[in-house]
Amino acid sequence: MVQSPKRSCEYIIHCINEFLIEQREEIKKLTDEAFEVQKKSVYTKISEKDYNLRQEMGRFGSEISTHQYNFERQTQELAELEKISKADFQALFEKVFFSEESKRLDVNLTAEIHKEENAEYSKKNSESEIFK
């Protein structure tokens, strides 16, 4: 959820779109070395051991509360992470954010004070070839 007391909804949507376009370019230019650094960072985060019983209970409690009961999730996620390639990551990013098969729903509620700005950015957003 993204919200602002000072800007209109369409302005926020415009900023999200710009951010996604910037990230698309960054991901296209991603080097193998940079990808591996990020992948190792995620690996380190996932493989962290529980420091106390509260963390372990939180992890297991999450499995129980979501009715997943996968108490080996950490090990399985690490195994899957090893299989992911840079090309897989880039393809998934494109599929999720820029493909015809993915959909995005923007729900907004705009205050009267932002009406003009909302109309201005609504026009800009509708002109974007990528986000029609």
For residue 132, being part of any structural domain is answered with no
For residue 26, being part of any structural domain is answered with yes
For residue 2, being part of any structural domain is answered with no
Q: Whole-model pTM?
A: 0.74
Backbone angles phi, psi at 65, to 5 degrees: -70, -25
CB 2 within 8 A of CB 100: no
Strand, coil or helix: 82? helix
Q: What domain range is 62 assigned to? A: 9-127
What is the C-alpha separation between 50 and 60, in angstroms, rounded? 11
For residue 1, being part of any structural domain is answered with no
CB 8 within 8 A of CB 118: yes
pLDDT digits (tens, 9 = 90+) for 22-47: 999 999 999 999 999 999 999 999 99
What is the C-alpha separation between 97 and 29, in angstroms, rounded? 17
CA proximity to 104, closest of 122, 86, 130: 130
Question: Structurally, how many domains does the chain consist of?
Answer: 1
Four-residue CA torsion sign, 71, 73, 78, 80 = positive
Q: Residue 38 has what pLDDT?
A: 96
Ranges of residues in the chain whose predicted pLDDT is under 70: 132
Which amino acid is residue 23, in one-letter code?
Answer: Q
